[in-house]
């Protein structure tokens, strides 16, 4: 796999943790076991744009007041949504 940062061969899929600010700006949370890409050449660990979009969409569509400070990616994605999709994201859901 080619690294998006250094463009060298040697990137691989892994699980890492990440930090997100909640959409309302009230606090930040830690997400563990987050599907990520790690580069053995430059050492960068990052998430794909698609995954970042999925996490941000999920955070927009659930009751974040019920979230603890730290939880896993699977726990986040299993939360019941208040809406089916983020109707305000015209990039992901054009009219």
pTM higher than 0.75 for the full model? yes
Cβ partners under 8 Å of residue 43, min gap 6: none
Q: pLDDT grade, residue 85 (50/70/90)?
A: low
User: 28-84, pLDDT tens digit by residue?
Assistant: 999 999 999 999 999 999 999 999 999 999 999 999 999 999 999 999 999 999 877
Residues 58, 67: contact at Cβ < 8 Å? no
b or e along 10-44 (b: 16 or more beta carbons within 10 Å of the residue's beta carbon)?
ebeeeebebebeeeeeeeebebeebebbbbeeeee
Residues 40, 80: contact at Cβ < 8 Å? no
User: 7-42, pLDDT tens digit by residue?
Assistant: 999 999 999 999 999 999 999 999 999 999 999 999
Residues 47, 31: contact at Cβ < 8 Å? no
Longest dimension (CA), the chain: 42
């Amino acid at each position: 796999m080619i690294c998006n940062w250094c463009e060298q061969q040697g990137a691989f899929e892994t699980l890492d943790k990440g930090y997100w600010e909640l959409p309302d700006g009230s606090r930040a949370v830690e997400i563990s076991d987050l599907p990520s890409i790690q580069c053995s050449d430059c050492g960068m660990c990052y998430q794909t744009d698609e995954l970042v979009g999925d996490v941000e969409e999920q955070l927009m569509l659930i009751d974040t007041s019920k979230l603890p400070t730290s939880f896993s990616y699977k726990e986040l994605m299993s939360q019941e949504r208040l809406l089916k999709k983020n109707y305000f994201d015209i990039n992901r859901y054009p009219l």
